[in-house]
Structure 1
Amino acid sequence: MKLIRNPRFTSLLKCVSQLSLETLSKPPISETGFLLCCTQNPRSLATQRTAAGDEVSSEKSSVKKTRNGTRITPRFRKLAEEAMLNYFYSTRGLQYMIAESMSKNSPIFIDNLLKKVSCVAASDINQCITRYLRFHPVNEFEPFLESSGLKPMEYTLLVPSDKIFLNEDAFLLENHHVLCYCGVDPKKIGKIFKEAREVFGYETGVLASKIKGYEDLGFSRLFLSKLIVSSPSILIGNTNLEMAKFLNRLKSVGFDFDWVMENLSEEAPCDWISVNRVLSLLKEICFDEDELCGLIRKCPRLVFENSGKWTLILAGFETKLGSSRSELCSLFQKFPQIQVEKCVLNLRHCFLFLKEIEILRNRILITKKSKK
């Protein structure tokens, strides 16, 4: 605690916390002023040739072929897609939009299928695939999930063990259609299936009513579609009041849904309780709504990066170092163009380093006293 109260230590920590990691990782510069990494290696040309040769051999070994050794060309794959479209739509009776998406947006599935058929010429591909599927029906969940944006390693555990046809899942396609009608990109529906699978088990009308509930809050379909992809969990249970509260609070200080949509990540789900907490924190340290609005607009990552959790950690750490409300506000106003997480990690490393120095200093003093 003595170290934390030291003003010089606190000042140094705050300075280091704002250093970008990129600054620390710049390549060294030689005395001539040129980057050392740019000096020419006399063996570089030979190395490049070797690398090029390895690349060519790698490409040759990765060439895909049918069962009887015929190379799978782009034309082969295109004809295979047409054959699968005909199979899914005409033979299996799937909706045309779904059949088309499954045939065009599942290249891994198509390649694996072509490896199993014996085909000599491109003109035979349709007949070969039709003949193969007559005796070897495929698991339709695989191309369905791949065309929905998932990779094989992601959907392997999601494929039902007791079903192979999509029509066997009573409400799957119905809820898929509702999401598409809402404006969700079919290629992103896989994320919803992965994170909120129960959504696809809703009975008729349930999912539509949940979406209607959010539309009644004033959300446009475009905004709602991105919101659903970002946080599929909002479709589970009752209307997410924490989310509605957060969006209304932002709206009250001048942020529309379009701005939120630009800054909301579709990759990671949003923790609405956490973003509400960080919004309350920023509102507390800012002197008025104009300052709060300016701060969030200047640095939206304070709110949206990892749902604001790193911002809460940073504020807590700075508070323990003795920072006042105005100092916290100043820190956030001058926040560097780096991730909040990096800033916190820099601060932590600096703290631990200086703590080690203090421990070493105390040991030296104790040793000196014992010798007297």
Structure 2
Amino acid sequence: MFMVRLKFALIFHNFSTVAAKHRRVPSKYKSLAIGKAQQAITDYLHTTRSLSYTHAEQIASNASVSIRSLILKLDFSVPTFSKSLRKHLSYHPINEFEFFFESIGIDYSEVSEFLPEKKFFFSEDRTVLDAACALSGFGFPWNKLGKLYKEERLVFVQSPGELESRLLKFKDIGFSTVAVIGTCLAIPRALCGGGELGSEIRCLFVKLKRLFDEFDSQHLFEENVDSWLAVSRKIRIFYDLGCENEEMWELMGRNKSLFLEYSEEALVKKAKYFCRFGVRKEDVALLILRNPAIMNFDLEKPVISVTGMLKHFGLRQDEVDAVAQKYPYVLGRNKLKNLPYVLRAIDLHERIFDILKNGNHQLLASYSVMDPDEDLDREYQEGLEELQNLRTKTHNIQKLDFLHEIGFGENGMAMKVLQHVHGTAVELQDRFQILLNSGIIFSKICLLIRSAPKILNQKPHSIQDKLRFLCGEMGDSLDYLEVFPAYLCFDLENRISPRFRFHKWLVEKGLSEKSYSIASIVATSEKAFIARLYGIHPAIPKHWFERFANRKTRATVILN
């Protein structure tokens, strides 16, 4: 029987291999095969699905991966390939939405995220297709519509009439067709809202028109979509940072070079750097626009001494000493790219940002470590050498970099914390972000990590559940974590919740006159906890095991 199965498996393998080889299109015929497949899909969508020939052709010519997948389903032969395609499509209709979404510029690997559930044909729902056709008819490049769809799907639930009416109103403000297209691709939400322009969008486009006039756009921009899109995306960076600020628009008009000399990537990078100070986004926009020279500053590679940098910013010696005493984990060296979080870790971010904003931005470029040995920590250097010899060197260096990014300096404390935190750098960042999003101040999170590094070993959902329990059922505030940071390291289901509820029950029943702190309730060992219950009344431990303790706790006590 085994030999029969083996023989069958070999035959099937050989058959599959032969079939795969037979279907492989020779290199010299690949262009021919793709062209015929595109033509077959065009004809299929036009004649069978009643799409206009232009739109059918757009879909077929811009869905390269879907076309290749179709080709691989057929045996290739030059004389019969066109006929094979038509026959295949007659009996095996394609998922038209799959071809469509790839054709409008959505990466094929992401297409499945956008496919409508249980719908394969445009006849089942033409809403998205009709919107795309309307936009294309106005002049939007077909293969750029995916940018709109991914960012603002509501654009594609509007009727063609609403879209056309809205687009014409932008032209009425004074924009050319190409300018409207480029600007709307950069700011997709401008296309939402039906045929009438709301006051916010109208105001935005009026300001944009004034700005482009100041830029002398007729001579500055090439009259093509890509040119307008590139400039509009740069303007959007500042619009997203502070659209209500009139000074910002005036500064943009006076700093034309900012939008011509620097790439969108460079502008985004600088904006993100200063946003990490945790200040108002509007102030970040104004800092860059008032001081465009900042764009030339290298804020990534320079190494800083934290205490040296603080003195450079004008802090007195006693202030530096106070920082060193309260936040010793930030001391030592770090990189300038981590400065915003270093300052947040010591609660000086707003003060230093104000110094930069008020005409002292040059301080970022004028600092340098004077002494090669300045602020070098021997314990850190020794720990770093040990890491270099580990098999997990890369993994540990990435985690160490994460600690530096959140403000920990190159010092022994950072190395000690590193020994206790587990997970990848990305996982640690996610857990840190959960704490930050919960409302805990940045500097306090760093203090918590210094006191109880294993906080960062907890899963994000576990951290959220424990914080919710602390502030909800326990009725305490997040500030209590400063008293008992290890709270987050205990198991909620098996430790925190049952013990707290039992303690609450004892108090409510008048069996315990003493009210214990959360730390005393949670951190006490199981043996000491049971002994405490026995001291209240010999029968209480039995009630604990029967009513409140879970199986895991009971098993642990029995085994001990």
Query: What TM-score results when the alignment is normalised by the length of structure 2?
Result: 0.42
Q: 1:104 aligns with which of 18, 39, 61?
A: 61
CA–CA distance in structure 2, aligned partners of residues 245 and 120 of structure 1: 57
The one-letter code matched in structure 2 to 1:244 is F
Structure 1: gaps (5+ residues): 1-63, 318-324, 364-372
Q: 2:267 aligns with which of 277, 292, 305?
A: 305
**Higher mean C-alpha deviation, range 219-228 or range 245-254:** 245-254
CA–CA distance in structure 2, aligned partners of residues 76 and 330 of structure 1: 53
Q: 1:140 aligns with which of 89, 92, 96?
A: 96
The aligned counterpart of 1:93 is 50
C-alpha change, 1:155 and 1:298, in structure 2 (3 Å) is closer
C-alpha change, 1:268 and 1:252, in structure 2 (3 Å) is closer
Q: Verify: 1:175 aligned to 2:131, yes or no.
A: yes
Q: Verify: 1:274 aligned to 2:241, yes or no.
A: yes
Q: Verify: 1:116 aligned to 2:73, yes or no.
A: yes
Q: Verify: 1:334 aligned to 2:293, yes or no.
A: yes
**Higher mean C-alpha deviation, range 205-214 or range 67-76:** 67-76
CA–CA distance in structure 2, aligned partners of residues 82 and 316 of structure 1: 55
The aligned counterpart of 2:211 is 250
CA–CA distance in structure 2, aligned partners of residues 302 and 120 of structure 1: 45
Give 3-state SS (helix, strand or coil) of 2:163's partner.
helix
C-alpha displacement of 1:351: 7.3
C-alpha displacement of 1:272: 2.8
Question: Conserved in 2, the CA contact under 8 Å of 1:67 and 1:116?
Answer: no
C-alpha displacement of 1:304: 9.2
Question: Conserved in 1, the CA contact under 8 Å of 2:23 and 2:73?
Answer: no
Q: How many residues align?
A: 281
CA–CA distance in structure 1, aligned partners of residues 36 and 165 of structure 2: 41
CA–CA distance in structure 2, aligned partners of residues 195 and 156 of structure 1: 16
Question: Conserved in 2, the CA contact under 8 Å of 1:275 and 1:304?
Answer: no
C-alpha displacement of 1:77: 2.2
Q: Verify: 1:184 aligned to 2:140, yes or no.
A: yes
After superposition, the CA RMSD in angstroms is 4.3
C-alpha displacement of 1:86: 1.9
**Higher mean C-alpha deviation, range 71-80 or range 246-255:** 246-255
Give 3-state SS (helix, strand or coil) of 1:247's partner.
helix
Q: Verify: 1:80 aligned to 2:37, yes or no.
A: yes
C-alpha displacement of 1:108: 0.8
The one-letter code matched in structure 1 to 2:205 is A
Residue pairs, 1:348-359, within 5 angstroms = 350=304, 352=306, 354=308
Q: Verify: 1:155 aligned to 2:111, yes or no.
A: yes
The one-letter code matched in structure 1 to 2:23 is T
Question: Conserved in 1, the CA contact under 8 Å of 2:183 and 2:229?
Answer: no
CA–CA distance in structure 2, aligned partners of residues 135 and 329 of structure 1: 60
Residue pairs, 1:304-323, within 5 angstroms = 305-306=267-268, 309-310=271-272, 313=275
CA–CA distance in structure 1, aligned partners of residues 266 and 207 of structure 2: 12
Q: Verify: 1:127 aligned to 2:83, yes or no.
A: yes
CA–CA distance in structure 1, aligned partners of residues 288 and 117 of structure 2: 55
The one-letter code matched in structure 1 to 2:184 is I
CA–CA distance in structure 1, aligned partners of residues 267 and 54 of structure 2: 36
CA–CA distance in structure 2, aligned partners of residues 183 and 153 of structure 1: 27
C-alpha change, 1:362 and 1:90, in structure 2 (3 Å) is closer
Task: Write the deviation string for residues 93-138 of structure 1: whole angstroms up to 9, x where unpaired.
Answer: 2111111122222121111112222x24122112222222222211
Query: What TM-score results when the alignment is normalised by the length of structure 1?
Result: 0.61
C-alpha change, 1:248 and 1:130, in structure 2 (3 Å) is closer
Residue pairs, 1:5-16, within 5 angstroms = none
The aligned counterpart of 1:55 is none
Aligned-residue identity in percent: 21
C-alpha change, 1:301 and 1:166, in structure 2 (3 Å) is same
The aligned counterpart of 1:69 is 22
The aligned counterpart of 2:428 is none
Task: Write the deviation string for residues 335-367 of structure 1: whole angstroms up to 9, x where unpaired.
Answer: 4547xxx63x568x747474699669967xxxx
Give 3-state SS (helix, strand or coil) of 1:158's partner.
coil
C-alpha displacement of 1:332: 2.4
C-alpha displacement of 1:170: 3.2
Question: Conserved in 2, the CA contact under 8 Å of 1:295 and 1:332?
Answer: no
The one-letter code matched in structure 2 to 1:71 is R
C-alpha displacement of 1:174: 2.6
Structure 2: gaps (5+ residues): 1-16, 222-226, 280-285, 312-319, 326-560
Residue pairs, 1:192-231, within 5 angstroms = 192-231=148-187
CA–CA distance in structure 2, aligned partners of residues 161 and 359 of structure 1: 62
